[in-house]
A and B are shown apart, each in its own frame.
Chain A
Amino acid sequence: MTKQEALFNYCLRLADTSLILAQRNAEWCGHGPFLEEDLALTNLSLDLIGQANSIYQYAAQVEGKARNEDDLAYHRSEREFLNTLIAEQSNGDYAKTILRQFFCDTFDFYFYAELVKSKDETLSAIAEKSIKEITYHLRHTSSWVERLGDGTEESHTRMQDALNEIWRFTGEMFEMNEVDTILIKEGIAVDLNSIKSKWESKSKEILDRATIKIPANAFMQRGSREAKHTEHLGFILAEMQSLPRALPDAKW
């Protein structure tokens, strides 16, 4: 694998994750538990698509094959998407959506703080811009995890159920492969080992405050680094890509 191929793959991993997560959150638009929260989640979704858009643009440039950001988002299949498994999980109830977003925000918070130091100027600049948004997202989702976990009996049960359900998808966020090895050597990529313990202690801190417990001996699912997904992704893409695929000659 060349450095260029690794960088392209790395960009897709980041952009796909942001886009798929945004797509999931956007499903709530107009259906949130109350208006202010509806708007907060919609806003979060918008920020994530913005991030994805910038990174896809860079990926297209790195690839150098005259594809643009929309080609990358709309004309790749489920066996080419590299988003994390947690991003594609179904929304479930509000507890599950918030917890999923919290885990991703916590990851992004530490990840992008490191990526700012990347020797790749474009990635560093994108990280710099994203970190402000992510800081706000994390504040929002962590306060809701706490509120719902330590709210009523019902909300507590729902939050614990959500944790039992999605904890198993958190492990692979830190998985590294040849792509990381190549790019870490170049000073471009973030060593995910270096942020794992920060992610763990932040997660524990908030889950403790939310009075919910991490399931013991949970088996961690994996696969997204090889574009092996859960069954959800195919449906997300079928919906998202339907129009550009139906009318491939059209410009939008």
Chain B
Amino acid sequence: MDANFEAKLARNENIEPKDWMPDIYRKHLIRQVSQHAHSEIIGMLPEGNWITRAPSLRAKMVLIAKVQDEGGHGLYLYTAAESLNISREELLEQLHTGKAKYSSIFNYPTLTWADIGAIGWLVDGAAIMNQVMLQRTSYGPYARAMVRICKEESFHQRQGYEITCKLAAGTKEQKEMAQDALNRFWWPTLMMFGPPDAASSNSENAIKWKIKRESNDQLRQRFVNQTVPQAELIGLTIPDKNLEWNEAKKGYDFSDPDWKEFNNVIHGNGPCNRERLGARVKAHENGRWVREAAIAYAEKRKQKAAAYQ
């Protein structure tokens, strides 16, 4: 059986829910897919924060549609996680008790409208780097969810860049807003790829099992290479004094993000950790009576239908 699993991986075939898989592979996937799902849902909050204040009707519609997409991604991913024999209720429980993690980027606040541009441009941009690779991940339901998700994420990235472009080409205040957002989101975005390869405990297995196909550092480098020219094009400055083109490696050299800050945010001390998790727990608690009512109503219908037979 184990040989079969290894053989499938070797042939680059997908592992499907009914296939045998090692327990440790299943656990790793549950952790990764649910973390991804939670990130989509928590990610609705910082952007949702600006829906009521979006400065034009079009901007408002684009933002609502984006946040709605993210919720949809959460749904696909919860479904993929559920195919690994764990219920949504359990998954949410893990999130709400702090046992499950979500992307630390969403623990940063959205202070100005420019942050909505920066999130689409940088955060969705960084997410795509990871997700393009995950379209070829070894677990079938996860890979298929990622194909759908990737299409929408690249759309989000373009829309975010468009917002940033508009601001960068706008009034003095708008330009300052755009630069300030870049300054604040640049480092947390670089952290999204995870700790350096040398320090990443989960990376090795993930690559062996073909869950991940590129390392944290490789992806981070690719993101920097892609993003720097985009910033330059619209006259914004990447907030890194050490940023420099390196002809030998055909890529940029850049500074390490502050990994101490990263660890702080991961361990609950980011600027908005309490708010984000608090909002999710509150929504879940406030929604309990609604979910109970839906179940009670369905039960009553069933009994009535049975009584007629």
Which residues of A are at the interface with B, using a C-beta cutoff of 8 A?
Answer: 19, 23, 26-27, 29-39, 42-43, 45-46, 49-50, 52-53, 56, 69-70, 73-74, 93-94, 146-148, 150-152, 154-155, 158, 239-240, 242-244, 247, 249-252
On whether the beta carbons of A73 and B57 are closer than 8 Å, the reply is yes
B283 contacts the other chain (CB 8 A)? yes
B286 at the A/B interface (Cβ < 8 Å)? yes
Q: Assess the A29–B44 pair: CB atoms within 8 A.
A: yes
CB neighbours (8 Å) of A73 from chain B are 57
Which listed residue (B52, B71, B170, B279) contacts A26, Cβ 8 A? B52
| B41 interface residue (CB < 8 Å to A) | yes
Question: Could you say which of B64, B65, B67, B174 has the most chain A C-beta atoms within 10 Å of its C-beta?
Answer: B64
Query: Which residues of chain B are within 8 angstroms of A27 by Cβ–Cβ distance?
Result: 52
Q: A32, A69, A74, A158: which contacts B283 (Cβ < 8 A)?
A: A32
Which residue of A35, A56, A247 contacts B74 across the interface (Cβ within 8 Å)? A35
9 A-B interface contacts by CB (under 8 A): A30-B67, A34-B287, A35-B78, A37-B290, A53-B57, A73-B57, A74-B56, A243-B55, A252-B56
- How many angstroms from the CA of A147 to the CA of B298 in the assembled complex? 8
**A152→B296 contact, CB < 8 A:** yes
Q: Are B166's CB and A30's CB within 8 A?
A: no
Instruction: Find out whether the CB atom of A247 lies under 8 angstroms from the CB atom of B171.
Output: yes
Contact of A252 with B64 in the complex, beta carbons under 8 Å:
no
Task: Name the distance in Å between B167's Cβ and chain A's nearest Cβ.
Answer: 8
Q: In the complex, which residues of chain A have a beta carbon less than 8 angstroms from the beta carbon of B296? A: 151-152, 155
**B292 and A36 contact, CB distance less than 8 A:** no
Q: Contacts A26-B64, A46-B61, A56-B57 given; indicate if A94 touches B290 (C-beta within 8 A).
A: yes
Of all chain B residues, the one with the shortest Cβ separation from A151 is: B293
B226 at the interface (CB under 8 A from A): no
User: Across chains A and B, which 4 residue pairs bring their CB atoms closest together, nearest first?
Assistant: A33-B287, A151-B293, A155-B293, A33-B290
Which among B53, B171, B283, B290 is the interface contact of A30 at CB below 8 angstroms?
B283
Structural contact, B174 and A247, CB atoms closer than 8 A: yes
Residues of A within 8 A of B59 (CB): 252
The chain B residue sitting closest to A57, CB to CB, is B57
Q: Is the CB of A46 within 8 A of B65?
A: yes
Beta-carbon contact of A29 and B67 below 8 Å: yes
A69 touches B290 (CB 8 A): no
B161 beta carbon closer than 8 Å to chain A:
no
How far is A52 from B64 in the complex, measured between Cα atoms in Å? Answer: 15
Residues of B within 8 A of A158 (CB): 289
Instruction: Given A30-B67, A42-B67, verify A35-B41 contact (CB < 8 Å).
Output: yes
Contacts A29-B44, A151-B297 hold; do A42 and B289 have CB atoms under 8 A apart? no
Cα–Cα, bound, A32→B113 (Å):
23
Question: In the bound complex, do residue A34 and residue B44 qualify as a contact, i.e. CB atoms below 8 Å apart?
Answer: no
Bound-complex Cα distance A244 to B48 (A): 19
Residue among B45, B58, B65, B68 with most chain A CB within 10 A: B68
CB contacts (< 8 Å) of B291 on chain A: these are 33-34
Cβ-defined contact, B282 with A31, below 8 A = yes
Most chain B Cβ neighbours within 10 Å, of A29, A52, A93 = A29
Assess the A35–B71 pair: CB atoms within 8 A: yes
Q: Let me know if B300 is at the binding interface, CB within 8 A.
A: yes
CA distance A118 to B60 in the complex (A): 29
Nearest-CB distance from A106 to chain B (Å)? 20
Q: How far does the alpha carbon of A42 sit from the alpha carbon of B63 in the complex, in Å?
A: 11
B232 within 8 A of A: no
A153 to chain B, nearest CB (A): 9
Q: Which residues of B lie under 8 Å from residue A39 when comparing CB positions? A: 68, 71-72, 75
CA distance A154 to B170 in the complex (A): 52
User: If the complex has contacts A34-B290, A93-B286, are A252 and B65 also in contact, measured as CB distance less than 8 A?
Assistant: no
Assess A30 versus B174: contact at CB under 8 Å? Given A35-B74, A49-B61: no
Whether B113 lies near A243 (C-beta < 8 A) is: yes
Nearest Cβ on chain B to A211's Cβ, whole angstroms:
11
Contacts A35-B75, A42-B68 known; list 9 others, CB within 8 Å: A29-B51, A29-B68, A39-B71, A53-B58, A69-B57, A94-B290, A155-B290, A252-B56, A252-B59
Chain B residues within an 8 Å CB radius of A251: 166, 170
Q: Which residues of chain B are near A53, meaning CB under 8 Å?
A: 57-58, 61
